[in-house]
């Protein structure tokens, strides 16, 4: 029997806050507690820290600091991008283009807009979860006011051809938003190279605190304000800034980007060993997502004849934290919209397991998962009513 250990492999859901980030944040809860809008030294200190974080975010994504707006996270940034652009373009048209595999932070705002009378095209994806840029071109009409396609998928790790999609949108003078929450720290992100007019990011996905994110808005992009009130964030997102959170975001994005080359190579090697070990060691198993255009940290596999929820419970009992589908849907029994869009029949979509690696994972963690998983799947299959005659 393997020595039981604690293995966290759910970094697409959230990450631990790096010690350097906690350390950077702490003074802004205590001695540096000033309100950035006030007019004395204590306030200027807080204001300076917020602006330093803005510069760090801008540098990480190839933007100008004045194009970075702090938000309460990825969900708010996505909501603002989608609803804000639509509100500013009401006279121009009523059609939005997005993909069928977006995070709910984009999909649900689109669905809410449909209820208000807007029309939304949900582009299909191929079996690997890729959007075809030609499909974007075909979907564009004179009424199209926004294209929103994520940079990398949180569930299956597929990286989208956003540069090509951005080019198509720009050829038609349509603003392009990309949800880059999973991309930051995983591979180089540059708003110009991606052709992004808007880009969402979230600190807790790359070693920063929860409840802090940012929306990049390219200069000149027409977008409504998100929150009315004081003049914070250039009057577009009012409310006293979450100074400790913003400081943490700035420090975390610095660390994530500077350590990316070493981290992503090591993480990709662990990912590949996990994928190979699972596919070779367990029959009736398939890899979900793209074989190569894939986040360095993402493993997503489906086991026929088993339920994802049962796999998670068994792994949890063995000290392993993982996920099935995305964190937001794992409480429901609906098959994941992402796996369904990739064409998986529901019985395959139900038996999915997502393991997402982070910098603190080790080869010993990978060994442990590969040692215990075959037994878990075999046991569940023995009890499975889904197995039928096979």
Positions marked catalytic: 328
110 is a site residue for ligand PLP (CB under 6 A): no
The site map against ligand PLP for 171-210 (x = CB under 6 A) is: --------x-xx-------------------x-xx-----
CA distance 246 to 219: 21
337 is a site residue for ligand PLP (CB under 6 A): no
Which residues inside 338-367 make contact with ligand PLP, applying CB under 6 A?
Answer: none
- Please give the structure tokens belonging to residue 64: 């100008």
Closer to ligand PLP by Cβ: residue 204 or 304: 204
3-state secondary structure of 10: strand
Nearest-CA neighbor of 28 among 60, 52, 59? 52
Shortest distance, position 173 Cβ to ligand PLP, whole Å: 26
Nearest-CA neighbor of 109 among 122, 123, 124, 127? 122
Cβ atoms of 353 and 303 within 8 Å: the answer is: yes
Among 11, 18, 54, 103, binds ligand PLP (CB under 6 A): 103
Shortest distance, position 198 Cβ to ligand PLP, whole Å: 13
**Closest residue to ligand PLP, based on beta-carbon distance:** 74
Q: Which window, 18-26, 67-75, 291-299, 352-360, contacts ligand PLP (CB under 6 A)?
A: 67-75
State how far Cα 40 lies from the chain centre: 38
Closer to ligand PLP by Cβ: residue 133 or 208: 208
Among 79, 121, 144, 154, binds ligand PLP (CB under 6 A): 154
213 is a site residue for ligand PLP (CB under 6 A): yes
CA distance 42 to 143: 50
Contacts of 276 (CB under 8 A, 6+ apart): none
Task: Return phi, psi of residue 5, to 5°.
Answer: -140, 165
- Please give the structure tokens belonging to residue 308: 């994802």
Residues that bind ligand PLP (CB under 6 A): 73-75, 78, 103, 105, 150, 154, 179, 181-182, 202, 204-205, 213
């Amino acid at each position: 029997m393997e020595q039981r250990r604690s293995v966290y492999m759910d970094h697409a859901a959230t990450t631990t806050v790096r010690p350097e980030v906690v350390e950077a944040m702490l003074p802004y809860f205590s001695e540096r507690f000033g309100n950035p809008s006030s007019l004395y030294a204590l306030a200027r200190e807080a204001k300076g820290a917020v602006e330093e974080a803005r510069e760090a975010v801008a540098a990480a994504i190839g933007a100008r600091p004045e194009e970075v707006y702090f938000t309460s996270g990825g969900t708010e940034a996505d909501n603002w991008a989608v609803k804000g652009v639509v509100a500013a373009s009401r006279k121009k048209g009523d059609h939005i283009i997005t993909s069928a595999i977006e995070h709910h932070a984009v999909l649900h705002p689109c669905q809410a807009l449909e209820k208000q009378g807007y029309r939304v095209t949900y582009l299909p994806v191929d079996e690997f979860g890729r959007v075809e840029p030609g499909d974007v071109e075909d979907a564009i009409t004179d009424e199209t006011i926004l294209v929103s396609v994520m940079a990398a998928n949180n569930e299956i790790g597929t990286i989208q051809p956003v540069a090509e999609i951005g080019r198509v949108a720009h050829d038609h003078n349509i603003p392009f938003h990309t949800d880059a929450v999973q991309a930051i720290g995983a591979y180089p992100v540059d708003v110009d190279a991606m052709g992004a007019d808007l880009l969402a990011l979230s600190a807790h996905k790359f070693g920063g605190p929860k409840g802090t994110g940012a929306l990049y808005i390219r200069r000149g992009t027409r977008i409504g304000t998100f929150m009315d009130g004081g003049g914070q964030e250039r009057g577009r997102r009012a409310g006293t800034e979450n100074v400790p959170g913003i400081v943490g975001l700035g420090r975390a994005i610095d660390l994530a980007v500077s350590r990316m080359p070493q981290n992503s190579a090591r993480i990709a090697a662990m990912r590949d060993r996990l994928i190979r070990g699972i596919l070779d060691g367990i029959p009736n198993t398939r890899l979900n997502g793209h074989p190569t255009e894939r986040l360095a940290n993402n493993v997503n596999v489906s086991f026929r004849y088993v339920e994802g929820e049962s796999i998670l419970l068994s792994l949890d009992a063995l000290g392993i934290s993982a996920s099935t589908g995305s964190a937001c849907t794992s409480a429901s029994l609906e098959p994941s919209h992402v796996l369904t869009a990739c064409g998986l029949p529901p019985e395959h979509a139900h038996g999915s397991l997502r393991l997402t690696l982070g910098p603190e994972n080790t080869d010993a963690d990978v060994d442990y998962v590969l040692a215990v998983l075959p037994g878990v799947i075999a046991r569940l299959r023995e009890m499975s009513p889904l197995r039928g005659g096979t």
